[in-house]
Amino acid sequence: MKEEIDINNIIDKYADMINRIIYRHLKSKEDTEDAVQEVFIKYMKYIKAGNVFNTDEHEKCWLVRVTFNLCRNKLKYNKMRMTMPLNDYIYFDLDISSENLLIVAVNKLEKKYRETFELFYFDDLKISEISKILKISESNVKTRLKRARDKVKEYMMKGERVYGKI
């Protein structure tokens, strides 16, 4: 019974963060729900195999790393199967409010900068945590954040109409 209580606490503690990360990558509610379950199944298997986390930060980093890997695998699988719906290719002109302009600007970033930016600003992770998750040095994380901020500022300062996908 103790195992169930611990797992429920972990789910309560990290489910929102994992859900946000997955949704930003997969952009589908149904795929996100499935992937969140897969992350926690991997967690339970990891714990049942006798593995132990040293700290809460270690546990959080492990979960985020597993989440990123799962997203990458799903995106790679979908790309190989070419399962994009037709309406993903229909573009329309958007009038973007200032709140949404930030999201659009972040989505325009190159993947490595977007991931770093989102982990730092949207998921409130420390530079040291991001470094462990992405398996890069802390100075590299800082560099990516600087470049991402510069690009986001550039995109937002242009003030031009933005084109997006349906």
The CATH number given to whatever domain includes residue 166 is 1.10.10.10
Which pLDDT does position 91 carry in this prediction? 43
| Whether 19 and 65 share a structural domain | yes
**Statement to judge: residues 20 and 74 lie in one domain:** yes
Does residue 114 share a domain with residue 51?
A: no
pTM of the model: 0.63
Binned average pLDDT, 10 residues per bin, the chain of 166 residues: 66 92 88 93 91 90 93 75 46 50 82 91 88 93 94 77 41
Counting runs of H as helices and runs of E as strands, what totals does the chain give? Answer: 7, 2
Note whether 104 and 38 are same-domain residues.
Answer: no
Please tell me whether residues 99 and 142 are part of one structural domain. Answer: yes
- Tokens representing 42 are 């991997």
Q: What pLDDT does 73 receive?
A: 87
Contact (CB, 8 A) for 109 and 151: yes
Q: Indicate which CATH number applies to the domain containing 39.
A: 1.10.1740.10
Number of domains comprising the chain:
2
Domain extent for 43: 1-84
Question: Which residues are 92's β-sheet partners?
Answer: 164
What pLDDT, on a 0 to 100 scale, did the predictor assign at position 152? 87
**Residues 44, 99 share a domain:** no
